[in-house]
Amino acid sequence: MRTDLRTVRLVLAEPLRISRSTMAARDAVWLTVEHDGLRGHGEAVTSVYYGLDTATLLRLLAAVDLDRFADPESALEALPRVVPDAPPAVTAAVEAALLDLVGKRADTPVHRLLGAPAPPVAATARTLGITSLPHAAAEARRLAASGFGIIKVKAGAPDPEDDVERVRVVRDAAPGVRLLLDPNGAWTLGQAEALLPRFADLGVEAVEQPLAPGDPETLAALAERSPLPVIADEDAVGLEDARRLAGRVHGVNVKLAKCGGVRAALRVAEAVEGSGTALMLGCLTASSLGLAPAVHLADRARWADLDGHLLLAHDPWSGIGGTDGFVRASDRPGLGVTRADLA
> Which active-site residues does the annotation give?
154, 255
Contacts of 53 (CB under 8 A, 6+ apart): 46
How far is Cα 262 from Cα 88, in angstroms, rounded to an integer? 11
Beta bridge partners of 231: 208, 251
How far is Cα 137 from Cα 128, in angstroms, rounded to an integer? 10
Long-range CB contacts (within 8 A, 24+) of 59-67: 60/86, 60/87, 60/90, 61/3, 61/5, 61/29, 61/31, 61/90, 61/93, 61/94, 62/5, 64/3, 64/31, 64/90, 64/94, 66/1, 66/3, 66/33, 67/1
Three-state SS sequence of 193-247: HHHHHHHHHCCEEEEECCECCCCHHHHHHHHHHCCCCEEECCCCCCHHHHHHHCC
Burial (CB < 10 A; 0-12, 13-18, 19+), residue 108, is middle
Contacts of 194 (CB under 8 A, 6+ apart): none
Query: In this structure, what DSSP letter does residue 310 have?
Result: G
Residue 209 near residue 183, CB atoms below 8 Å: yes
Where helices occur in the chain by DSSP H, the ranges are: 54-62, 72-77, 79-82, 88-106, 110-113, 133-146, 160-173, 189-201, 216-225, 239-245, 256-259, 262-272, 288-295
How far is Cα 318 from Cα 289, in angstroms, rounded to an integer? 8
